[in-house]
């Protein structure tokens, strides 16, 4: 959903039964879609930029304009530039990054097919996009952009 539309993000959180305090991941198709939400620390800029596009998510310092409903209780936002063709096309068409989340209720395994999404969440969703899953069989690695420390993965 559109990370700048508070009502859309709140609806997504309600559907997933996810606490807003946790924050969300944003996914972009290009680096020029990031500045409205985050800054890339100079000390690790090359490492971060060279990890994209791909399954690398970075906790980047949130910009002063970044919405609290995206940050949660954090001063960072999880961000990645996707290599997934369908997601990249969505971001390109929309003109900015989008909220990225697994298709599941909090605490349950992510759905791996449109049918599983339909069974778990379908009656609450406006649309299920039928597209191939990414090649990775596990969640993306998450690293802190300032320290480089691995948080997940």
pLDDT digits (tens, 9 = 90+) for 139-149: 789 999 999 99
- Token couple for 48: 């971060």
Query: 32: domain range?
Result: 6-152
Would you say residue 134 lies in a domain? yes
CA distance 12 to 1: 8
> Could you give phi then psi for residue 97, rounded to 5 degrees?
-70, 165
Q: What is the mean pLDDT of the chain?
A: 92
Q: Assess if residue 113 is contained within a domain.
A: yes
Asked if residue 118 belongs to a domain, the reply is yes
Where residue 108 sits, what CATH number does that domain have? 3.90.870.10
For residue 80, is it within any domain? yes
Give the chain's domain count: 1
Structure confidence by residue, pLDDT tens digits, 93-135: 999 999 998 888 888 888 888 888 888 887 898 888 877 776 6
DSSP string, the chain: --TT-HHHHHHHHHHHT--GGG--EEEESSGGGSTTTB---GGGHHHHHHT-SSSEEEEEEBPTTS-HHHHTT-SEEEEEE---HHHHHHHHHHTS-EEE--SS-TTSPPP-SHHHHHHHHGGG-S-----PPPS-SSPPEEEETTT--EEE-
Pairing of the two strands 56-61 and 150-152? unpaired
Give a yes or no: residue 75 inside a domain.
yes
User: Residue 58 has what pLDDT?
Assistant: 98
Q: What is the C-alpha to C-alpha distance for residues 134 and 47, in angstroms, rounded to an integer?
A: 22
Share of the chain above pLDDT 90, in %: 73
Q: Specify the pTM.
A: 0.91
Q: In the structure, what pLDDT confidence band is assigned to residue 66 with cuts at 50, 70 and 90?
A: very high
Whether residue 65 is contained in a domain is answered as: yes
Q: Is residue 1 part of a domain?
A: no
């Amino acid at each position: 959903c559109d990370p700048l539309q508070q009502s859309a993000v709140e609806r997504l959180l309600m559907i997933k039964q996810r606490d807003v305090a946790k924050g969300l991941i944003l996914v972009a198709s290009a680096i020029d879609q990031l500045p409205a939400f985050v800054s890339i620390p100079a000390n690790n800029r090359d490492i971060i930029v060279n990890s994209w596009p791909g399954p690398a998510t970075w906790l980047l310092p949130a910009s002063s304009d970044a919405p609290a409903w995206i940050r949660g209780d954090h001063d960072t936002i999880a961000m990645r530039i996707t290599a997934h063709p369908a997601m990249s096309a969505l971001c390109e068409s929309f003109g900015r990054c989008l909220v990225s989340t697994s298709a599941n209720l909090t605490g349950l395994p992510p759905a791996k097919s449109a049918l599983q999404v339909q069974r778990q969440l379908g009656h609450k969703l406006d649309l299920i996009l039928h597209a191939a899953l990414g090649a990775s069989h596990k969640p993306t690695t998450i690293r802190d952009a300032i320290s480089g420390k691995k948080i997940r993965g």
